Amino acid sequence: MEKPDELRELFRMQKALNERIGVKTDGMTDEEKIKWVLNYCRAMSQEIAELTDSVPWKWWAKYQKLDEQNARVEVVDLFHFLISLAQVLGMSADDVFNAYVKKNAVNFQRSTSSGRRAATSRRTMAIPGTFENEQTPFGASHQQSSGRLSQRRAASPDHPRAIGEARARVVAGNRARFCGA
C-alpha cells in the first residue's frame, strides 16, 4: 500500500475534526472568517504560552526543567490550529506547501551575506513568490495587503514595536529606580 501524502492527510483529518465539532470552513462568509481567524489566533497564542511554560524560561527560578514531552504535545496542538486557520483562509495543503517553498527561498536569499538582508527585500518580492503588484494565488498582491496591514499595525499601541518600546522604557525606569543607573 502506498503511503499517503502526509501534509494532505493532516489537512483531511483536521477538516473532518472541525466539521465534527461544527466548524465548516467551506463557503464561510467574511464575517465568519474573521471570527474563526481570531479564534484560531487566540488558541495558538494560548498554545504558544503553554509551549513556553514547557521550557525553563524563568531565569530567577532554579527548580525548572525542560518538559520535552509536553513541548511536543503543544507543537502538535499548534499544528491543529494552524491547519484550521489555513483552511479558514481557503488554503489547501498544496497551497501551504507551495507558499512555504517560495517563502523559504526568499528567507534563504535574505540569510546570505553574513546574515544581512539580501538585495531582494519584501518590498520588491511579493510572497508567495510573485513580484511587485502581481496577484498572489489568494487575491490582492502581497505588497498591497501587507502594506495596508503594516500601516494599521504601526499605528496600533499593540504593535510589537510599540510594545517593545514601552517595555524598554519600563525596564530602563526599573533599572534607574532599583540599580541607581
Residue matched to cell numbers 506547501: 97
Residue matched to cell numbers 504558544: 48
The per-residue pLDDT for range 130-180, each reduced to its tens digit, is 444 445 555 555 555 555 555 555 555 555 565 566 566 655 655 555 555
Q: Give pTM, 2 decimals.
A: 0.63
Least confident of 5-14, 52-61, 83-92, 170-179: 170-179
Residues 1-91: name the CATH superfamily.
Type II deoxyuridine triphosphatase (1.10.4010.10)
- Listed residue (14, 31, 174) closest to 92, CA to CA: 14
The CA distances from residue 141 to 9, 30, 135, 171, in Å, are 29, 19, 4, 39
Helices (H), 21-159: 30-52, 68-88, 93-110, 142-155
Q: Is 132 left (phi over 0), alpha (psi -120 to 50) or beta?
A: beta
Where exactly are the structural domains of the chain? 1-91, 113-181
Q: Which helix (H) or strand (E) holds 125?
A: strand 125-126
